[in-house]
């Protein structure tokens, strides 16, 4: 349970900053830090056992049929990354409290930070790749919010969009790769997948899965050629940059490559793709960093370079390289987080990040300067700091690696990358902290920040020194546990120490330090020499590509989505016909079914003939809206008769009720529309549409004929018939399907129905207010209406029938689980009864007596259905699983109680609320038109309307 709580705490705690900001900035930061600290304490409680080799696992069943379960596990790799995420996250929270100004909405910042933190913890602790993918996409969304936190800055918005576009696209590719991987193994659990390396690598789908997964990793970890988005994310506040670049966002791709290392590595494809991309990223990122004048820009490209270094080590595919990669992940997180926070201190205290304006800041900012110099030296790989040890291990592995049978390529490029790393690290030291001031007129006078800003990077700097001096004691156990989880087997023999003797790696390191120093000495001339060189601008290329993609999308959408429903239907139907034809001709030996057709009785023939004639009439007379509506109603009634003929009373009742309600609502809507539609289609288009319609009709008819004339084994209908009583507790199979077997579908449908009713309300509400209401008030009714629109006979009949109709509705509702009926039909019957009151007695009279909040009725119906579904969880059953018992009472006898009745009640309330809300709003517009007619034509005055007080628009709703 504590493992689940570690993942959930940041998400649950994300509400605290939004609330506590009202109590002040200190309270807000304290509440946020407490959430992260609690999660870190729970994690550290498990750390000794994990380091000793134990693996913790917890699993909750969610959708087992799809292989999607909520499963978490904690091993050495998960422990390392979760510690970095929560530990550095806690330091960032403290740092951000003093970094953000009073004008920055701190509560919102911490909410975004905790959401991002929870998504990252979810990634590293997930044991199900589908669950991991959910958290993966959450990191893209939450990082978008963090990078664009300063939304008033154009570069912030641009950087957020770029990061989301690149990492989101890579995430889509990774989803496909993960699904392929799960399909190969037959399971989506990581612990199962990691045990099937031979099966995965022997599969013909190994290479597609590998490429797709690596696309997700490379985009997230900014590997070449996707490296360009990361520096543009520097528009975010420095706490975001420090967090993303050291422990979280960009490390997600590294984590996934390490996690999948046991099953994907060890092949030539893995080596040449991963190691080559990492090596190129390492050298290219380091080279660009040398020429960046923005402190955060320099550090951003240095992050790109170091991520390339780790990727290259993982790409080598050897156990020792994996150990070196794990150790460098730790070292990079410590010095890079401290460096970014130091850059934020410089920006905060001086008002600029331009390296060309600095020099001699150590004298003015001794604390920050000490932190910056030590951590930059570690980044350069200077002894005796932790960066030196992992750099030596990297160079040692590079010395033993061959690329295309050449043993000099990797060592040479790795040394060049290390040389460039020394150059930009020394530039950070000498051009910022040492020497003489180059610009004494900085925006602000430099001085050390308050304790809250320098304490977090100082703590990390202490770790940089301690790990460098005592690597085996401080980091050794964690490195061993993590590397063991990455390798998935026995660890190679290695020693974490400052001195390994006179090795090729030491010589390569000395060359890098000397060469980097010389390069920095010639930095000015090098800048001048490269200033006029033509080089590709990744941002310009990305912007151009996005502009072209948007233009193409707009061209396609403008041509496809031009507002013509006729075109949409034509494309859909023609596509369906094409798919049907391809499937038909794919089976050349088509044979007719074995079941004989039933004899056609005279009533069936007459009904079919009426249906055909009515459909043809509606095609030729569709310009007359009222007549078309009547013809469509006739079609519905004939279909209802067909359901009765085929012994489907539930469907017949539903069809009849729907037809009545639909015709009445459509009559109200059509009354305020022109009575005829203009003739728009040319003869050629009519012929085309006719041919398409006939082809579609023949295709559907042929498909129905093909199915109904065949005996199909193991049909879903036979399953429902066999299990309706035993599993759902009802003999009415249709109702059991709706409330049990496919209850989730029904639940979604009533939500959609409620949304549709609220949409009608929102649309018509605009008609009854503002300028639209003024135009309606000036509307001149074109048709003369009856002077007696509410006949006394009809008024009396409907009022007498109302209680009888309501009782019929209740009866249909109660019997629905075992006999034809149910909540949907009962809701329609009650709606018809209420609609008749509006028709007979008028809107004003009825509305003044119907004191019902239809909005609340819709919401209550959805909630009732949801509660019924959730209650199944209490019994340990899947969502919306029905339960039933048989009860015997004296006199009454035996009867059944089913939980499906609660779900049916929700359906009933939603249907009644949706129908009556739509009716009320349509009638409100009609009533306004009636008042216009009353004022303009006194002869049509209706006493029932004048007797009723005019209701306000809000009340009538």
Buried b (16+ CB within 10 A) or exposed e, 161-194: bbbbbbbeebbebbbbbbbbbbebbebbbbeebb
Judge whether 114 and 17 are in contact, CB under 8 Å.
yes
Span 331-353, pLDDT tens digits: 999 999 999 999 999 988 888 88
User: CA-based angle 731:736:739, to the nearest 5?
Assistant: 150
pLDDT at 64 exceeding the cut of 90: no
Helices 154-185, 206-220: inter-axial angle, 10-degree rounding = 160
Judge whether 897 and 818 are in contact, CB under 8 Å.
no
Assign 691 a pLDDT band (cuts: 50, 70, 90). Answer: confident
Residue 437: the pLDDT is 82
602: buried, middle or exposed (CB in 10 Å: 19+, 13-18, 0-12)? exposed
Q: 819 or 286: whose pLDDT is higher?
A: 286
Residue 280: the pLDDT is 93
Assign 12 a pLDDT band (cuts: 50, 70, 90). Answer: very high
- Rounded Cα–Cα distance for residues 649 and 679 (Å): 40
Residue 776: the pLDDT is 64
Judge whether 829 and 809 are in contact, CB under 8 Å.
yes
> pTM of the predicted model, to two decimals?
0.71
Contacts of 186 (CB under 8 A, 6+ apart): none
User: Which segment of 60-64, 150-154, 446-450, 949-953 scores lowest on mean pLDDT?
Assistant: 949-953
How close are the terminal C-alpha atoms of the chain, in Å?
48
202 phi and psi, to 5 degrees?
Answer: -85, -10
Per domain, the residue ranges of the chain are 266-361+368-499+508-557, 598-677, 735-957
pLDDT at 865 exceeding the cut of 70: yes
Could you give the C-alpha distances from 809 to 467, 796, 868, in angstroms and in order?
77, 20, 21
Span 782-832, pLDDT tens digits: 555 556 667 888 888 888 888 998 899 888 888 888 888 888 889 989 988
Structure tokens at 70: 């909520």
Q: 571 or 674: whose pLDDT is higher?
A: 571
Assign 869 a pLDDT band (cuts: 50, 70, 90). Answer: confident
Residue 931: the pLDDT is 53
Judge whether 461 and 333 are in contact, CB under 8 Å.
no
pLDDT at 774 exceeding the cut of 80: no
Mean of the pLDDT values across residues 423-429? 92
pLDDT at 330 exceeding the cut of 90: yes
Contacts of 900 (CB under 8 A, 6+ apart): 728, 729, 730, 735, 736, 739, 740, 743, 817, 868, 882, 884
User: Which segment of 689-693, 775-779, 859-863 scores lowest on mean pLDDT?
Assistant: 775-779
Q: Give the count of alpha carbons within 13 A of 484, CB side only.
A: 18
Mean of the pLDDT values across residues 507-511? 92
Could you give the C-alpha distances from 116 to 9, 110, 112, 172, in angstroms and in order?
12, 10, 6, 19
Q: How many CB atoms lie within 10 A of CB 880?
A: 25
Residue 469: the pLDDT is 92
Span 847-857, pLDDT tens digits: 778 778 888 89
Percent residues over pLDDT 90 in the chain: 34
Buried b (16+ CB within 10 A) or exposed e, 551-583: eeeeeeeeeeeeeeeeeeebeebeeebeebeee
């Amino acid at each position: 349970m504590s493992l689940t709580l570690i993942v959930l705490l940041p998400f649950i705690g994300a509400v605290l900053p939004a609330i506590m900001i009202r109590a002040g900035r200190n309270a807000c930061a304290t509440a946020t830090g407490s959430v992260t600290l609690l999660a870190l304490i729970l994690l550290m409680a498990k750390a000794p056992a994990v380091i000793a080799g134990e693996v913790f696992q917890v699993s909750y069943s969610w959708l087992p049929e799809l292989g999607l379960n909520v499963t978490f596990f904690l091993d050495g790799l998960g422990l390392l990354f979760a510690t970095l995420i929560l530990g550095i996250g806690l330091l960032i929270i403290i740092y951000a409290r003093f970094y953000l100004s009073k004008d920055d909405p701190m509560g919102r910042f911490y909410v975004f930070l905790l959401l991002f933190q929870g998504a990252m913890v979810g990634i590293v602790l997930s044991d199900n790749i589908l669950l991991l993918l959910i958290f993966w996409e959450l990191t893209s969304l939450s990082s978008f919010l963090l990078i664009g936190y300063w939304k008033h800055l154009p570069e912030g918005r641009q950087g957020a969009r770029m990061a989301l576009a690149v990492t989101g696209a890579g995430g889509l590719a990774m989803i496909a790769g993960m699904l392929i991987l799960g399909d190969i193994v037959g399971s989506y659990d990581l612990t199962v997948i990691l045990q099937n390396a031979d099966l995965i690598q022997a599969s013909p789908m190994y290479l597609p899965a590998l490429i797709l997964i690596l696309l997700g990793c490379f985009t997230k970890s900014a590997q070449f050629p996707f490296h360009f988005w990361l520096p543009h994310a520097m528009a975010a506040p420095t706490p975001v940059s420090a967090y993303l670049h050291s422990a979280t966002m960009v490390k997600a791709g590294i984590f996934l490559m390490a996690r999948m290392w046991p099953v994907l590595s060890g092949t030539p494809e893995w080596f040449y793709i991963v190691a080559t991309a990492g090596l190129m990223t390492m050298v290219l990122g380091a080279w660009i960093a040398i020429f960046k004048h923005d402190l955060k820009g320099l550090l951003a490209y240095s992050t790109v370079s170091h991520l390339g270094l780790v990727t290259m080590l993982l790409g080598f595919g050897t156990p020792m390289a994996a150990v070196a990669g794990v150790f460098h992940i730790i070292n990079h997180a410590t010095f890079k987080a401290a460096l970014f926070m130091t850059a934020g201190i410089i920006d905060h205290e001086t008002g600029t990040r331009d390296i060309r304006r600095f020099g001699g800041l150590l004298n003015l900012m001794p604390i920050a300067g000490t932190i910056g110099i030590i951590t930059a030296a570690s980044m350069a790989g200077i002894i005796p700091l932790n960066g030196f040890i992992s750099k030596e291990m990297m160079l040692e592995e590079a010395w033993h690696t061959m690329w295309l049978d050449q043993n000099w390529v990797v060592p040479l490029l790795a040394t060049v990358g290390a040389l460039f790393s020394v150059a930009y690290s020394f530039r950070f030291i000498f051009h910022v902290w040492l020497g003489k001031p180059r610009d004494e007129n900085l925006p602000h006078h430099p001085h050390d920040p308050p304790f809250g800003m320098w304490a977090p990077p100082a703590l990390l700097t202490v770790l940089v020194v301690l790990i460098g001096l005592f690597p085996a004691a401080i980091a050794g156990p964690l490195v061993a546990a993590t590397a063991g989880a990455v390798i998935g087997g026995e660890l190679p023999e290695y020693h974490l120490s400052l001195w390994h003797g006179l090795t090729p790696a030491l010589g390569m390191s000395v060359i890098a330090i000397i060469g980097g120093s010389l390069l920095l000495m010639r930095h000015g001339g090098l800048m001048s020499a490269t200033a006029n060189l033509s080089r590709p601008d990744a941002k310009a290329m990305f912007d151009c590509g996005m502009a072209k993609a948007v233009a193409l999308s707009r061209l396609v959408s403008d041509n496809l989505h031009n507002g013509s429903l006729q075109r949409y239907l034509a494309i859909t139907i023609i596509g369906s016909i094409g798919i049907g034809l391809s499937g038909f001709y794919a089976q050349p030996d088509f044979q007719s079914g074995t079941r004989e057709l039933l004899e056609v009785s005279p009533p069936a023939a007459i009904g079919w003939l009426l249906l055909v004639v009515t459909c043809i009439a509606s095609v030729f007379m569709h310009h007359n809206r009222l007549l078309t509506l009547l013809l469509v109603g006739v079609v519905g009634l004939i279909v209802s008769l067909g359901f009765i003929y085929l012994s489907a009373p539930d469907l017949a009742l539903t069809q009849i009720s729907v037809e009545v309600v639909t015709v009445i609502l459509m009559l109200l809507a059509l009354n305020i529309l022109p009575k005829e539609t203009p003739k728009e289609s040319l003869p050629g288009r009519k012929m085309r549409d006719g041919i398409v319609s006939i082809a579609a009709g023949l295709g559907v008819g042929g498909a129905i004929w093909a199915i109904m004339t065949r005996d199909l084994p193991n049909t879903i209908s036979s399953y429902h018939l066999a299990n309706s009583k035993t599993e759902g507790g009802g003999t009415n199979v249709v109702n059991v399907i709706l409330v049990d077997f496919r209850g989730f579908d029904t639940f979604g449908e009533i939500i959609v129905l409620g949304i549709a009713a609220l949409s009608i309300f929102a649309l018509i509400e605009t008609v009854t207010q503002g300028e639209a209401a003024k135009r309606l008030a000036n509307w001149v009714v074109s048709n003369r209406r009856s002077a007696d629109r509410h006949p006394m006979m009809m008024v009396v009949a409907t009022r007498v029938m109302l209680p009888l109709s309501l009782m019929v509705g209740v009866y249909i509702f109660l019997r629905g689980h075992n006999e034809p009926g149910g909540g949907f039909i009962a809701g329609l019957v009650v709606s018809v009864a209420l609609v008749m009151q509006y028709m007979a007695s008028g809107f004003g009279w009825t509305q003044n007596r119907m004191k019902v909040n239809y909005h609340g009725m819709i919401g209550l119906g959805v909630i009732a259905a949801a509660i019924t579904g959730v209650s199944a969880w209490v019994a340990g059953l899947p969502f919306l699983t029905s339960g039933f018992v048989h009860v015997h009472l004296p006199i009454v006898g035996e009867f059944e109680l089913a939980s499906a009745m609660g779900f049916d009640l929700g359906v009933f309330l939603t249907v009644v609320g949706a129908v009556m809300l739509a009716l009320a709003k349509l009638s409100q517009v009609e009533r306004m038109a009636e008042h216009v007619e009353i004022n303009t034509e006194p002869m049509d005055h209706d006493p029932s309307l004048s007797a009723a007080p005019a209701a306000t628009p809000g009340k009538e709703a």
